[in-house]
């Protein structure tokens, strides 16, 4: 019995570590695939669509007895979740394109700080300055934000003597631009996490929510990305890194929602 209780306590932290590892791997695969010509528009749409297709048969297997009733407000919130997730993905992948997966991993550490700030803003978290937990959270938030600013504004790629000054300035500008996009992306993902928590309190069926979220993400992202990426050849995936980079993020969506 004690082992089961300890297992339940450890499970959320284990899941968080797995999700973070998947996110880092996703960034590395995307950067490698982008260097081979993969468009992040294509990556986002295919990732949502593949996740939707994979989750659909699971609904028929594990939810044969019927689904809890849907409300119009739930559909609206799921579409809003899809819009936020899609926008966050656009910012993060474009930021990685400008910078590197290493910077994305560093900026990703801002997510707990953003979530804490948003939770306080929406009264999901109360500040008690007499509590060590509150002081630790505030201190951690300040440290993570300071560290991210240092990485973005100070620790840009080192200038090399083989590069001219114009090239060096352009590299630094892209690095800062990538850092700002990554910061915006992870802020959106933090908003996504807050909204997801709210939705799961009213509709606690993780499998159904994972399917509906990816379906909404597909519906939201497909028209925008088809307009933005007009090159039809770009939508043909080639075997190797581009295909792997497209399939890899699919593992992230169900894990996060559960």
pLDDT the model gives residue 79: 94
Residue 185, token pair as written in the block? 């992306």
- Are 152 and 176 spatial neighbours (Cβ–Cβ below 8 Å)? yes
Give 4-49 pLDDT, tens digit per residue.
Answer: 455 555 666 676 666 667 666 777 777 788 878 888 899 899 989 9
Q: Give the global pTM.
A: 0.80
Give 196-217 pLDDT, tens digit per residue.
Answer: 888 988 888 888 888 999 999 9
Instruction: Return the percentage of the chain with pLDDT > 90, whole number.
Output: 20
More confident residue, 219 or 234: 219
Q: How far apart are CA 85 and CA 189, in angstroms?
A: 6
| One-character DSSP codes across 32-101 | HHHTTT--HHHHHHHHHHHHHHHHHHHHHHH-TT--PPP-HHHHHHHHHHHHHHHHHHHHHHHHHHHS-H
Give 122-173 pLDDT, tens digit per residue.
Answer: 777 777 777 777 777 778 778 777 777 776 666 555 544 444 566 567 777 8
**How confident is residue 224, by pLDDT bands cut at 50, 70 and 90?**
very high
Q: Where does residue 123 fall: left (phi above 0), alpha (psi -120 to 50 degrees), or beta otherwise? A: left
Residue 63, token pair as written in the block? 């939810």
**What are the phi and psi torsion angles at 143 (to 5°)?**
-65, -45
Evaluate the CA torsion angle 33, 22, 140, 128 in order and state its sign. positive
Q: How far apart are CA 120 and CA 128, in angstroms?
A: 11
Q: What is the mean pLDDT of residues 227-240?
A: 87
- Are 170 and 198 spatial neighbours (Cβ–Cβ below 8 Å)? no
Distance of CA 97 to the CA centre of its chain: 15
Rg of the chain over Cα atoms, rounded to whole angstroms, equals: 20
Question: How many DSSP H helices and E strands does the chain contain?
Answer: 10, 0
Residue 228, token pair as written in the block? 């933005």
Q: How far apart are CA 86 and CA 217, in angstroms?
A: 6
């Amino acid at each position: 019995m004690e082992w089961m209780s300890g297992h339940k306590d450890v499970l959320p932290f284990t899941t968080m570590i797995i999700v973070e590892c998947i996110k880092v791997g996703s960034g590395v695969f995307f950067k490698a695939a982008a260097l081979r010509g993969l468009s992040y528009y294509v990556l986002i749409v295919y990732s949502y669509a593949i996740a939707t297709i994979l989750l659909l048969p699971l609904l028929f297997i594990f939810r044969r007895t019927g689904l809890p009733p849907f409300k119009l407000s739930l559909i609206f919130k799921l579409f809003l979740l899809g819009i936020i997730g899609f926008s966050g993905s656009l910012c993060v992948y474009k930021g990685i394109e400008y910078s590197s997966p290493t910077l994305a991993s560093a900026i990703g550490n801002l997510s707990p700080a953003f979530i804490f700030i948003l939770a306080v803003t929406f009264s999901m978290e109360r500040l008690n300055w007499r509590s060590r937990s509150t002081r630790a959270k505030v201190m951690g938030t300040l440290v993570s934000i300071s560290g991210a600013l240092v990485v973005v504004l100070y620790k840009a790629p080192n200038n090399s003597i083989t590069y001219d000054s114009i090239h060096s300035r352009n590299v630094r500008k892209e690095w800062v631009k990538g850092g700002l996009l990554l910061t915006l992306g992870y802020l959106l993902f933090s908003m996504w996490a807050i909204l997801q928590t709210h939705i799961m309190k009213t509709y606690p069926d993780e499998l159904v929510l994972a399917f509906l979220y990816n379906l909404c993400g597909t519906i939201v992202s497909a028209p925008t990305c088809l307009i933005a990426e007009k090159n039809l050849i770009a939508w043909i995936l080639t075997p190797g890194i581009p295909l792997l980079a497209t399939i890899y993020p699919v593992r992230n969506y169900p894990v996060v929602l559960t």
